[in-house]
Amino acid sequence: MSTEQDEPTAETTTDADEAPAQTPGDRRREEKQARMQVTERERAEAAAAADETVQLKVFRFDPEVPEKEEPRFDDFHVPYVQGMTVLDALIYARDEFDSSLTFRHSCRQAVCGSDALFINGSQRLACKTQLSALDAPVRVEPLPHQDVVKDLVVDMEHFYDQMEAVEPYMQSEEFPEGELEEQRQSPENREKIKMSTRCIWCGACMSSCNIAAGDNEYLGPAAINKAYRFAMDEREEDDIKEHRMRIMEQEHGVWRCQTQFSCTEVCPKDIPLTEHIQELKREAVKSNLKFW
């Protein structure tokens, strides 16, 4: 939590008793050791000092253990420290109480998109959700509309299939003359697709979408947003954009969106998903509606 702040003190202590024959690796390990001790001590102190605990109600399910086949909710009382996120609390619960508690997490800073969970009835990134902003007890469940593999881990295969279905990669075949010439994009065009490039593939939008829940063929907000990102990119030629629009304007493409704004509400990166879907709808109409 506050490793950075401790660094100066850790460094001064190691600098003081630095032996001349010490290799840089030794020094780094020593520093790391000192840092870890400080954080560990701090954590223990914080846990002891914490006069309040937060109650987590966590969904549990494990098909491989007969006793855990029946889904249930487990209570964890986690000592609260200021600035604690839901992910911090889950990590604490796993490390201190039940090592079998399973959930995905990686970067802890809302970039990797692996810890989208259903927290207090809404799809959120656990690492980005402050406990102080939630009503207790905090109810943590796996993402709805996806099959649960174990505890808070859901099967993302379908979501990834939909993402791949829109061909999320540059297909431009015209390259500028010259060996070192770049494919230029105007600042305006970059600005236009800026928000759509921020998708982290967490699947929160897809999970919140009422339509995607009932229609497995529907591409879903994330995939359509991905298609928007490439269709609107001016560096791709018109015929490639046409090819992308042909994927989008299918029955289970953009037209399944009924503008409930659920995806836009839950997107942890604040991507205006509905807006992008609507714009693709207009593009689809424009390319198909001809007056002659």
Partner 1 sequence: MSQSYDRGLIEDFGRWREFSAGMWAWILHKFTGWVLIGYLFMHIAVLSTAIDAASGDPATYTDTIQGLESLLVVRVLEIGLLATAVFHILNGVRLLMVDLGVGLEAQDKSFYASLVVTGGIVVASVPTFLGGGVV
Residues of the shown chain interacting with partner 1 in the complex, contacts defined by CB under 8 A: 61, 63-64, 71, 118, 121-122, 142, 144-145, 147-149, 155, 210, 213-214, 258-262, 264-265, 272, 274-275, 278-279, 281-282
Is there a contact between 97 and 77 (Cβ–Cβ < 8 Å)? no
- HSE at residue 53, side-chain half, CA atoms within 13 A, is 13
Alpha-carbon distance 254 to 234, whole Å? 21
Q: Which is nearer to partner 1, 71 or 137 (CB)?
A: 71
> Closest approach of Cβ 156 to partner 1, in Å?
12
Among the listed residues 41, 39, 123, the one whose alpha carbon sits nearest the alpha carbon of residue 86: 123
> Closest approach of Cβ 66 to partner 1, in Å?
11
Alpha-carbon distance 235 to 184, whole Å? 7
> Closest approach of Cβ 168 to partner 1, in Å?
23
Give the containing element (helix H, strand E) for 122: strand 122-125
Q: Which is nearer to partner 1, 71 or 168 (CB)?
A: 71
E strands present in 27-70: 53-60
Q: Which is nearer to partner 1, 157 or 251 (CB)?
A: 157
Q: Which is nearer to partner 1, 212 or 240 (CB)?
A: 212
Q: Which is nearer to partner 1, 10 or 202 (CB)?
A: 202
Write out the two tokens for 215.
């229609």
Q: Which is nearer to partner 1, 163 or 263 (CB)?
A: 263
> Closest approach of Cβ 118 to partner 1, in Å?
8
Spell 110-146 as b/e; 16+ CB within 10 A means b: bebbbbbbbbbeebbbbbbbebeebeebbbbbbbebb
> Closest approach of Cβ 262 to partner 1, in Å?
6
> Closest approach of Cβ 100 to partner 1, in Å?
16
